[in-house]
C-alpha cells in the first residue's frame, strides 16, 4: 500500500541560489525567445512505492525506481503528474523487482541496492550515483530542469551532469564522428541523409544512450525519450554533460559498470538483444539498386557460382515492384518470380526484397484500398491524410504505432513469402519524404493508445515498421527465423532487425567512417550492423573496394550495395587481381562462420556487443580510450582495417596477452604497438592466444556441404583461456527450447604442456563425429597427444600441416 507523502524538514533553497546555474546551462534551441528555466527546489517529501520512491519539492516530483541492482531509473514530473509509463524501447517484462533500502541523513536520501547508491540531496535535489564503497560515478551539475514549450504546451526537459576532466564518452548509435564523443554536441532526429559527411548530424537512427568512462570506470545513461533529443558532451562547458529533449518526459536510466562491457550488457538487459539470425544472414550478400530484369539477377547469381565466389543472398531493390507499389511484382521484369526465386534457391541463393513505408495513392491498388478502408494511414491535425511524395509518387503512410496496423502490415508479406522471398529490407522509414524531408509535426499517431503528434512518434516510426515486418514474418515463416534489415531505428530495434548505415560514399574517408559507425552501433545495442561495402554513391577503385571488402569480413552484416547510377560493383568488377583477393576474403568469412555464429549467440544470449572498440578491451589505459582503428570481433579476433590507399604497413596496438597474426601464425606480444605489413591481399587480423577457433571448409553458401568433421584451430598459450563454440539447426527457433550445443573449451598451457578440456551444454548434437584439431603457435612439434587417457596419432594433411583427430565428445586432451 502506498504511504502518504511525508513532510520532511529541510532548509528551503531560494530560487536565487540556483540562478548561478542558469547561465552555465546552454539554451539549445537557439532561435527561441529566452524562456526561463525552472529548477527543482529542495526535497520536501517522499512517497514509497513497490519499486522505488517519489520525491517532491512541493510541486514537481521525481521518481527513482530500482530496476536491478545495477540500473536505476529517474523520472521527472515538472508539475507533479508523471506521463504514461510506456516505452517502445523497454518492454515491461525487462523490468524486474529487486530489494532496496532507503536511508535518510540530515543532507540526503540514499536509495541503496546491493551495488549502487542513488543519493538525492535534500537541499537542492541534486542526484548522484555512487558505488558501494562511496566512489561517485555520476553526479548532477545542476538539478533537473525544464521550460514551458510555447509550441505545443509541453516542456523542454533538461539534465546536466558533471563531466570530469578525464571523462570520455561512447555510444550514441550511428553518428559519423570520432568514437570518443567528448567535445561534441549531437542530436537525434531520424533523417534520410543521402551521401552524408563526416560529422554530419543527425543521421538515420536515434540511440539516446551513452557510456561515460572516467578514472577507469564506466557507467551508462539511457535517456528514453522519443522526441528530438540532444546531447552535449562537455562541448559547451568543459565540466558539464547535458541531455535534453523538445518534449516528453525527462526519464533516464543510470546503468552501472564498472566495465564498459557490463554497461552494454545491462543496456541490452532492458532494451533486448537481437534474436539469433538465420545462418545464411551472416554469409556474404550481394545487392544493387537494382538488379533487374530477371535475366540480370540470374546472370549475377550464375557468375558467383562460375567464379566460385561464395554468396548467400541476392537483393532486389525497388525496381522489382510494379510502379514502386509495395508487395507487387513488375511482371514485365519478373514474369515468374516464384520460379526465379526457387531456381536461385536451388543454387543456394536467398532472395531479399525491399519494402518501403510509402503506399501509392491509387484506388486500383489493393494495399492502398485496404489501408484506406480501415483508416490505417496517418492523418494530419485537421484530419486530412498525411500525403507526401516518395518513389511511387503521391503516397500515404501506415501508422505503425497502432498494433492493428502492424498486424495488417505483417500480413501483407504473405504473397512475397509464398513466392519464396527469404528476407526483407525496410528502407525510407525515418520516415523520408521527398522535398520536405519527413512528416510535418502535426501528423497524429496512435502510439499504442498514448496518442501523440509526429514530434513524439517520428523517431520510433521506422522501428515500429520493422517490428510489424518482423512479427508478421515470424507468423508466416512459422518456426523459421526471419531476416530483416532497417535503415531507421530507435533503441530496442535490435529485437526486430539488423541495420545498415544508409547512403554512404565510395571514399577512403567513408571507409573509416564506416569502421567508426559499426563500432559505435555495436556498443549501442545494434550489433547486427553493416555498411554498404564499396560505398553507396560514387565510384570506388579496385583498391578501395577490396579494402572495404576486407573490413566487410569483420562487419557483423556483410553486404555490397551501390546506387543506381554507379558502375558494376560485383567482387569481379575491378579485374582479375582484385577478384582473387575479394574471393580470398569472402572465403575467409565462410571459414569463420562457426566462430561468427558463436559470437552472434553471445550477443543474443548474454548481450555482449559483436564489435568491441579497443577502449572497451582496455578501458583502464587512458590512451587506448582514444584509439579508433583496432577493434575486436567477438572475444578472440582483433582487427585493424587498412584505411588508406597505397598503405604498405600499419601501426597496430595489440591489447595485453599474446597474439597470432592470422595469415602466417607469427606470434606477437600484446600491450604494445607493432608495425604490421599490409600487402593488398592481407589485413591486420590477430587471434588471441589460447583461442579455439572453429573453421568450416569453404562453401559457396551456408549449408552447401555436409560437415564430415569440424576443424578446430587451437592457439598455443602459456596461460589459461576459455572459448566456446555454438551450433544449432541454423534457421529455426528450436534454440529457444535448448536445442543447441554450447561447447566450452579451456586451453591451459600453464604447466608447460597443453591441456584442452571440453564441456558441452544443450540438447543439439551435430552429425559429424570428430574434430580435426590443428595446433597453432606450438614452440615444438608435440611428442605425444592423448584423448581422455588414450594416445592418438599426429597426422599430416595435404598441405603438410599436422593435426590430430579426436571424438567430438572428448573431455580432455593432453599435448606434450
Ligand atoms: C535509399 C536506400 C538505398 C536504396 C535506395 C533505393 O537511398 O538507402 O539503399 O538503394 O533508397 O531504394
Q: Pick the atom of ligand 1 nearest to 487's CA.
A: 8
Torsion sign across C-alpha atoms 453, 435, 293, 536: negative
Q: Per the domain annotation, does 296 fall within a domain?
A: no
Q: For 291, which DSSP code?
A: -
289, 316, 533, best to mutate for ligand 1 pocket (most atoms within 8 Å of CB)? 289
Banded pLDDT at 50 (limits 50, 70, 90): confident
Q: Per the domain annotation, does 455 fall within a domain?
A: no
Give the tens place of pLDDT for each residue, 768-803.
999 999 999 999 999 999 999 999 999 999 999 999
Q: Pick the atom of ligand 1 nearest to 502's CA.
A: 8
Q: Pick the atom of ligand 1 nearest to 503's CA.
A: 8
pLDDT of residue 148: 86
- Calculated CA dihedral for residues 335, 340, 342, 345, nearest 10 degrees: -160
Domain limit, last residue, from 271, 290, 319: 271
Count, in order, helices (H) and strands (E) of the chain.
13, 55
Q: Pick the atom of ligand 1 nearest to 194's CA.
A: 7
Q: What is the mean pLDDT of residues 205-234?
A: 98
pLDDT of residue 3: 39
Q: Per the domain annotation, does 421 fall within a domain?
A: no
- Report how far ligand 1's centroid is from the alpha carbon of 425 (Å): 10
Q: How far is CA 363 from the centre of its chain?
A: 39
Nearest 5°: the CA angle 234, 248, 88 is 100
Q: Which residue CA neighbors atom 3 of ligand 1 most closely? A: 503
Give the tens place of pLDDT for each residue, 380-434.
999 999 999 999 999 999 999 999 999 999 999 999 999 999 999 999 999 999 9
Q: Identify whether 807 is a catalytic site residue.
A: no
Q: Identify whether 217 is a catalytic site residue.
A: no
**Residue 166 burial (CB count, 10 A):** 12
Q: Per the domain annotation, does 517 fall within a domain?
A: no
- Report how far ligand 1's centroid is from the alpha carbon of 562 (Å): 9
Q: How far is CA 60 from the centre of its chain?
A: 36
User: Are 669 and 741 in the same domain?
Assistant: no
Q: How far is CA 157 from the centre of its chain?
A: 27
Q: What is the mean pLDDT of residues 526-534?
A: 98
Q: Pick the atom of ligand 1 nearest to 318's CA.
A: 12
Dist. CA 608–CA 556, nearest whole Å? 13
CATH number of domain containing 146: 2.60.40.1760
Pinpoint the alpha helices (H) of 308-397: 337-346, 366-373
User: Are 646 and 760 in the same domain?
Assistant: no
Q: Is the peptide bond prior to 144 cis by the omega test (within 30 degrees of 0)? A: no
Domain count, the chain: 3
- Report how far ligand 1's centroid is from the alpha carbon of 294 (Å): 20
pLDDT of residue 523: 98
Q: For 49, which DSSP code?
A: E
Q: Per the domain annotation, does 545 fall within a domain?
A: no
Q: What percent of the chain has pLDDT over 70?
A: 95
Q: Residue 614: phi, psi to the nearest 5? A: -55, -35
- Report how far ligand 1's centroid is from the alpha carbon of 535 (Å): 12
Q: 427 in ligand 1 pocket by Cβ < 6 Å?
A: yes
User: Are 668 and 725 in the same domain?
Assistant: no
Banded pLDDT at 96 (limits 50, 70, 90): confident
Give the tens place of pLDDT for each residue, 106-151.
999 999 999 999 999 999 999 999 999 999 999 999 999 999 876 6
Q: 680 in ligand 1 pocket by Cβ < 6 Å?
A: no
User: Are 616 and 732 in the same domain?
Assistant: no
427, 433, 569, best to mutate for ligand 1 pocket (most atoms within 8 Å of CB)? 427
Question: H or E segment at 776?
Answer: strand 770-776
pLDDT at 39 over 80: yes
User: Are 660 and 765 in the same domain?
Assistant: no
User: Are 43 and 69 in the same domain?
Assistant: yes
Q: Per the domain annotation, does 197 fall within a domain?
A: yes
CATH number of domain containing 807: 2.60.40.1180
Give the tens place of pLDDT for each residue, 609-661.
999 999 999 999 999 999 999 999 999 999 999 999 999 999 999 999 999 99
Q: 317 in ligand 1 pocket by Cβ < 6 Å?
A: yes
Check: CB of residue 691 under 8 Å from CB of residue 721: yes
Q: How far is CA 189 from the centre of its chain?
A: 18
Catalytic residue among 140, 503, 635, 728: 503
Q: Identify whether 50 is a catalytic site residue.
A: no
Q: Per the domain annotation, does 357 fall within a domain?
A: no
User: Are 118 and 63 in the same domain?
Assistant: yes
User: Are 147 and 56 in the same domain?
Assistant: yes
Check: CB of residue 590 under 8 Å from CB of residue 698: yes
748 lies in which domain range? Answer: 706-815
Give the tens place of pLDDT for each residue, 306-333.
999 999 999 999 999 999 999 999 999 9
pLDDT at 10 over 50: no
User: Are 620 and 724 in the same domain?
Assistant: no
- Report how far ligand 1's centroid is from the alpha carbon of 356 (Å): 10
Contacts with 538 (C-beta within 8 Å, 6 or more apart), sequence order: 195, 505, 506, 507, 566
Give the tens place of pLDDT for each residue, 546-575.
999 999 999 999 999 999 999 999 999 999
Catalytic residue among 147, 174, 319, 427: 427
pLDDT of residue 33: 52
pLDDT at 348 over 80: yes
- Report how far ligand 1's centroid is from the alpha carbon of 427 (Å): 7
Contacts with 78 (C-beta within 8 Å, 6 or more apart), sequence order: 38, 60, 146, 155, 157
- Report how far ligand 1's centroid is from the alpha carbon of 188 (Å): 21
Check: CB of residue 430 under 8 Å from CB of residue 192: yes
Catalytic residue among 430, 618, 630, 695: 430
User: Are 793 and 751 in the same domain?
Assistant: yes
Dist. CA 121–CA 100, nearest whole Å? 18
Q: Pick the atom of ligand 1 nearest to 356's CA.
A: 12
Q: 318 in ligand 1 pocket by Cβ < 6 Å?
A: yes
Domain limit, last residue, from 271, 305, 329: 271
Q: Which residue CA neighbors atom 4 of ligand 1 most closely? A: 289
Q: Per the domain annotation, does 254 fall within a domain?
A: yes
pLDDT of residue 95: 85
Q: 289 in ligand 1 pocket by Cβ < 6 Å?
A: yes
Banded pLDDT at 524 (limits 50, 70, 90): very high
Dist. CA 787–CA 770, nearest whole Å? 12
Banded pLDDT at 4 (limits 50, 70, 90): very low
Dist. CA 164–CA 238, nearest whole Å? 8
Domain limit, last residue, from 256, 271, 286: 271
Q: For 507, which DSSP code?
A: S
Q: 502 in ligand 1 pocket by Cβ < 6 Å?
A: yes
Among candidates 610, 641, 347, which has minimal Cα distance to 510?
641
Q: What is the mean pLDDT of residues 144-162?
A: 88
User: Are 800 and 730 in the same domain?
Assistant: yes
pLDDT of residue 34: 62
pLDDT of residue 97: 77
Q: What is the mean pLDDT of residues 708-729?
A: 97
Among candidates 401, 567, 552, 535, which has minimal Cα distance to 468?
401
User: Are 63 and 99 in the same domain?
Assistant: yes
Question: Bridge-partner residues for 209, per DSSP?
Answer: 222
Amino acid at each position: 500500500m502506498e504511504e502518504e507523502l511525508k513532510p520532511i524538514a529541510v532548509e528551503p533553497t531560494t530560487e536565487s541560489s540556483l540562478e548561478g546555474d542558469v547561465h552555465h546551462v546552454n539554451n539549445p534551441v537557439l532561435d527561441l525567445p529566452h524562456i526561463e528555466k525552472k529548477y527543482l527546489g529542495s526535497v520536501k517529501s517522499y512517497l514509497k512505492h513497490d519499486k522505488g520512491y517519489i520525491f517532491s519539492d512541493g510541486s514537481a516530483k521525481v521518481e527513482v525506481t530500482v530496476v536491478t541492482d545495477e540500473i536505476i531509473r529517474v523520472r521527472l514530473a515538472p508539475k507533479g503528474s508523471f506521463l504514461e509509463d510506456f516505452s517502445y524501447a523497454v518492454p515491461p517484462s525487462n523490468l524486474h523487482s529487486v530489494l532496496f533500502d532507503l536511508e535518510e541523513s540530515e543532507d540526503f536520501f540514499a536509495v541503496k541496492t546491493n551495488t549502487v547508491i542513488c543519493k538525492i540531496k535534500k537541499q537542492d535535489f541534486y542526484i548522484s550515483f555512487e558505488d558501494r564503497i562511496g566512489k561517485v560515478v555520476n553526479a548532477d551539475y545542476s538539478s533537473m530542469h525544464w521550460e514551458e514549450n510555447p509550441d505545443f504546451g509541453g516542456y523542454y526537459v533538461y539534465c546536466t551532469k558533471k563531466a570530469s576532466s578525464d571523462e570520455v564518452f561512447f555510444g550514441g548509435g550511428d553518428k559519423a564522428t570520432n568514437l570518443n564523443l567528448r567535445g561534441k554536441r549531437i542530436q537525434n532526429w531520424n533523417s534520410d541523409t543521402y551521401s552524408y559527411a563526416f560529422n554530419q548530424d543527425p543521421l538515420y537512427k536515434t540511440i539516446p544512450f551513452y557510456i561515460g568512462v572516467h578514472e577507469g570506470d564506466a557507467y551508462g545513461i539511457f535517456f528514453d525519450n522519443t522526441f528530438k533529443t540532444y546531447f552535449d558532451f562537455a562541448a559547451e562547458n568543459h565540466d558539464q554533460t547535458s541531455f535534453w529533449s523538445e518534449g516528453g518526459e525527462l526519464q533516464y536510466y543510470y546503468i552501472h559498470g564498472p566495465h564498459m562491457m557490463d554497461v552494454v550488457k545491462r543496456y541490452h538487459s532492458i532494451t533486448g538483444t537481437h534474436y539469433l539470425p538465420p545462418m545464411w544472414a551472416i554469409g556474404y550478400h550481394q545487392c544493387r539498386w537494382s538488379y533487374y530484369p530477371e535475366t540480370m539477377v540470374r546472370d549475377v547469381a550464375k557468375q558467383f557460382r562460375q567464379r566460385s565466389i561464395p554468396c548467400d543472398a541476392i537483393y532486389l531493390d525497388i525496381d522489382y515492384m510494379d510502379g514502386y507499389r509495395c508487395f507487387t511484382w513488375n511482371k514485365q521484369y519478373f514474369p515468374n518470380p516464384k520460379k526465379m526465386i526457387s531456381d536461385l534457391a536451388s543454387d543456394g541463393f536467398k532472395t531479399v526484397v525491399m519494402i518501403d513505408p510509402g503506399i501509392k495513392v491509387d484506388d486500383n491498388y489493393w494495399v492502398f484500398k485496404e489501408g484506406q478502408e480501415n483508416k490505417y494511414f496517418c492523418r494530419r491535425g485537421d484530419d486530412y491524410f498525411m500525403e507526401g511524395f516518395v518513389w511511387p509518387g503521391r503516397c500515404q503512410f501506415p501508422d505503425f504505432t497502432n498494433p492493428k496496423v502492424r498486424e495488417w502490415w505483417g500480413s501483407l508479406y504473405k504473397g512475397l513469402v509464398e513466392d519464396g522471398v527469404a528476407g526483407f529490407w525496410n528502407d525510407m522509414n525515418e520516415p523520408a519524404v521527398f522535398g520536405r524531408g519527413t512528416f510535418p509535426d502535426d501528423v497524429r499517431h496512435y502510439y499504442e493508445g498514448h496518442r501523440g503528434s509526429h514530434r513524439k512518434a517520428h523517431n520510433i516510426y521506422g522501428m515500429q515498421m520493422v517490428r510489424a515486418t518482423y512479427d508478421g514474418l515470424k507468423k508466416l515463416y512459422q518456426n523459421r527465423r526471419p531476416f530483416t534489415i532497417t535503415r531507421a531505428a530507435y533503441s530496442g530495434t535490435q529485437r526486430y532487425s539488423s541495420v545498415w548505415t544508409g547512403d554512404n560514399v565510395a571514399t577512403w574517408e567513408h571507409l573509416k567512417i564506416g569502421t567508426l559507425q559499426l563500432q559505435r552501433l555495436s556498443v549501442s545495442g545494434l550489433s547486427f550492423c553493416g555498411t554498404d561495402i564499396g560505398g553507396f554513391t560514387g565510384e570506388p577503385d579496385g583498391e578501395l573496394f577490396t579494402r572495404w571488402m576486407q573490413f566487410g569480413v569483420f562487419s557483423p552484416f556483410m553486404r555490397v550495395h551501390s546506387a543506381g547510377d554507379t558502375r558494376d560493383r560485383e567482387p569481379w568488377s575491378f579485374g582479375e587481381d582484385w577478384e582473387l583477393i575479394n574471393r580470398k576474403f569472402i572465403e575467409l568469412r565462410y571459414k569463420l562462420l562457426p566462430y561468427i555464429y558463436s559470437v552472434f549467440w553471445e550477443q543474443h544470449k548474454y548481450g555482449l556487443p559483436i564489435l568491441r572498440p579497443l577502449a572497451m578491451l582496455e578501458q583502464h589505459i587512458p590512451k587506448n580510450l582514444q584509439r579508433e582503428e583496432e577493434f575486436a570481433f567477438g572475444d578472440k579476433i582483433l582487427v585493424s582495417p587498412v584505411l588508406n590507399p597505397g598503405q604498405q604497413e600499419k601501426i597496430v596496438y595489440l591489447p595485453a596477452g599474446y597474439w597470432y597474426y592470422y595469415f602466417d601464425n607469427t606470434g606477437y606480444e600484446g600491450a604494445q604497438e607493432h608495425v604490421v605489413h599490409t600487402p593488398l591481399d592481407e589485413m591486420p587480423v590477430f587471434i588471441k592466444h589460447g583461442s579455439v577457433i572453429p573453421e568450416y571448409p569453404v562453401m559457396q553458401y551456408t549449408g552447401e556441404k555436409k560437415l564430415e568433421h569440424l576443424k578446430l584451430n587451437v592457439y598455443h598459450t602459456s596461460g589459461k583461456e576459455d572459448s566456446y563454440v555454438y551450433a544449432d539447426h541454423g534457421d529455426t527457433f528450436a534454440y529457444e527450447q535448448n536445442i543447441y550445443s554450447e561447447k566450452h573449451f579451456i586451453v591451459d598451457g600453464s604447466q608447460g604442456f597443453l591441456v584442452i578440456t571440453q564441456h558441452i551444454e544443450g540438447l543439439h548434437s551435430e552429425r559429424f563425429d570428430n574434430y580435426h584439431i590443428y595446433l597453432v603457435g606450438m614452440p615444438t612439434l608435440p611428442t605425444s597427444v592423448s584423448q581422455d587417457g588414450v594416445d592418438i596419432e599426429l597426422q599430416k594433411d595435404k598441405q603438410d600441416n599436422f593435426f590430430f583427430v579426436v571424438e567430438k565428445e572428448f573431455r580432455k586432451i593432453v599435448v606434450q
